[in-house]
Amino acid sequence: MTIPTTRRQALRNLGLGGLAGLAGGALLRAARNHRKKLPVAAVVTQYREYSHADVILGKILEGWQQLGGPGPDLEVVSVYVDQFPDNDLSRMLAKKHGFRIARTIDEAVTMGKKTVPVAGVLSIGEHGDYPFTPDTKQHMYPRRRFFDEIVAAMRRCNQFVPLFNDKHLGYRWQDARHMVDTARRYRIPFMAGSSVPVTWRYPAWDLPAGSPIEHALVVGHHTSESYLFHALEALQCIVERRRGGETGVTAVTALRGEQIRKAEKRGDWSRPLLGAALRAVDAPTKNLDQRIANPQTVFLLIEYRDGLKATAAMIPDAIGPNPPKYSCQLAVACQVQHQAEPFACWMKTPGIPFPHFTELLQGIEHMIHTKKPAYPVERTLLTTGILDRLMHSMHPQKGKRLLSPELAIRYETPRWKFANEENPGKPEGTRAAWSRSY
């Protein structure tokens, strides 16, 4: 593959010193403990530059920097592509790397055989020309269709291998529940989710498991479904570490304008936490009342079953100075009992060549080699369900509080492993994280 000038220039602009600057200590450990490359299949919506297929599969094909050199101990052997735009990369990459462009999802998983010859499957249903639901503005990516056809191929062969689903499990709660229940029924190691929980944190703070969290808030700047999912995953990977572990959610509400101010008076969200989160992401903290009154500002209230109240504060100008192109500006703040200052950190996603996807891919690699998920799919099941209910509250229900008895989802707090502790070239005061099998 000839790497586009834009990618090469971006790497030079980053000023990162070699591969270790991107992948951190976990990559250094992987280089010392090299394993046999395991074959994987992929099912993707589109494969174009900077798509999720590119920044995930591209690191398997072209190395962590996507410029050659070492990469994960995986090998792409077959890919099903649902749509081929004019700027498609998959066919050119197939010629270069020798993987099969499958005509069907079954063929991608089985390579046309009566067995499953791959060690894992990556389902990447992000990007592409797909419709939106007319009432809730949810993008109807074919993630459940991908999942069902992947599992059907495994069932036909009576052979089940680990499966990763990129981002949320589906635009509908029913799809997400079906996918998790099906994976459990056939004992398929199953992971899903955003790259945000494993990206770099500024400062390099970790909230100890069992922390007594009193309030929590994530701040962001956009209310699209895709962006809100990142915000919810950022919030959830922190609050799941509270005392008692995750218990699920009872209700959600989307608020605007005067509703936001009334919620503050009730104690549903904390202005000091909002200020801490804005400062963490280097966003302005002045004129908050005026900015909250902006019709584009939306506060999303999440009521947990154990009494915790959390907020996703989406304020259009909650952006730090000079954000990298394609970056995701999100910060999480928590008030912890008996602590004067809140826990607050910026979950910063660097731009090109998207090293946070390196951290996500290391979790996928871990699952495929060990057949044990690096972190629980129940986290993404919960965030998918919260997102679906919030999209309904925000659009057709116009701020109605929606009960969510279906989201009584419990799971054990993952045990975090920070991935770049050994990297001498990492930016000061930062670290990326992914959690071990729980």
pLDDT digits (tens, 9 = 90+) for 90-108: 999 999 999 999 999 999 9
Backbone angles phi, psi at 260, to 5 degrees: -65, -45
Q: What is the pLDDT of residues 142-172, one digit of tens each?
A: 999 999 999 999 999 999 999 999 999 999 9
Q: Which two tokens stand for residue 127?
A: 């990007």
Q: How much is the pLDDT for 265?
A: 96
Q: Which residue has better confidence, 90 or 1?
A: 90
Q: How much is the pLDDT for 421?
A: 47
Element (DSSP H or E) covering residue 403: strand 402-403
Q: Which residue has better confidence, 247 or 426?
A: 247
Domain 5-197+356-376, CATH number (from 3.10.100.10, 3.20.20.60, 3.10.20.30, 3.40.50.720): 3.40.50.720
Q: How much is the pLDDT for 435?
A: 57
Q: How much is the pLDDT for 160?
A: 98
Residue 362 vs residues 25, 266, 359: alpha-carbon distances, Å:
11, 43, 5
Look at residue 5 and tell me whether its pLDDT is greater than 90.
no
The whole-number average pLDDT for the span 305-312 is 98
Look at residue 235 and tell me whether its pLDDT is greater than 60.
yes
Q: How much is the pLDDT for 324?
A: 74
Q: How much is the pLDDT for 423?
A: 45
Look at residue 126 and tell me whether its pLDDT is greater than 80.
yes
Q: Predicted confidence band at 301 (pLDDT cuts at 50, 70, 90)?
A: very high
Q: How much is the pLDDT for 426?
A: 52
Backbone angles phi, psi at 296, to 5 degrees: -85, -10
Q: Predicted confidence band at 427 (pLDDT cuts at 50, 70, 90)?
A: low
Q: Predicted confidence band at 205 (pLDDT cuts at 50, 70, 90)?
A: confident
Contact 301, 269 (CB under 8 A): yes
What's the CA gap between 280 and 217, in Å, rounded? 12
Q: Predicted confidence band at 412 (pLDDT cuts at 50, 70, 90)?
A: confident
What's the CA gap between 146 and 151, in Å, rounded? 9
Q: What is the pLDDT of residues 50-79, one digit of tens each?
A: 999 999 999 999 999 999 999 999 999 999
Spatial CA neighbour of 403 closest among 416, 420, 386: 386
Spatial CA neighbour of 67 closest among 160, 154, 133, 1: 1
The DSSP annotation for 195-221 comes to SGGGSEEES---PPTTB-EEEEEEEES
> Helices in 222-348 by DSSP H: which ranges?
225-239, 258-265, 271-280, 288-292
- The whole-chain average pLDDT of the chain stands at 89
Looking at 45-59, 201-215, 220-234, 243-257, which range is the least confident one? 201-215
Look at residue 434 and tell me whether its pLDDT is greater than 50.
yes
Look at residue 25 and tell me whether its pLDDT is greater than 80.
no
Q: Predicted confidence band at 245 (pLDDT cuts at 50, 70, 90)?
A: very high
What's the CA gap between 302 and 233, in Å, rounded? 13
Q: How much is the pLDDT for 428?
A: 58
- 178's CB contacts (< 8 A; 6+ apart) are 144
Looking at 108-112, 357-361, 415-419, which range is the least confident one? 415-419
Q: How much is the pLDDT for 351?
A: 84
Look at residue 117 and tell me whether its pLDDT is greater than 70.
yes
Q: How much is the pLDDT for 32?
A: 40
Q: How much is the pLDDT for 80?
A: 98
Q: How much is the pLDDT for 224?
A: 95
What's the CA gap between 258 and 341, in Å, rounded? 28
At which residue do the structure tokens 């005061």 appear?
Answer: 429
Orientation of helix 377-394 relative to helix 173-185, angle to 10°:
160
Spatial CA neighbour of 216 closest among 256, 145, 162, 270: 270
Dihedral of the alpha carbons of 258, 259, 265, 267, in degrees to the nearest 10:
-150
Whether omega before 4 lies within 30 degrees of 0, making that bond cis, reads no
What's the CA gap between 200 and 14, in Å, rounded? 15
Q: Domain residues of the chain, as ranges?
A: 5-197+356-376, 199-353+385-407
Look at residue 213 and tell me whether its pLDDT is greater than 80.
yes
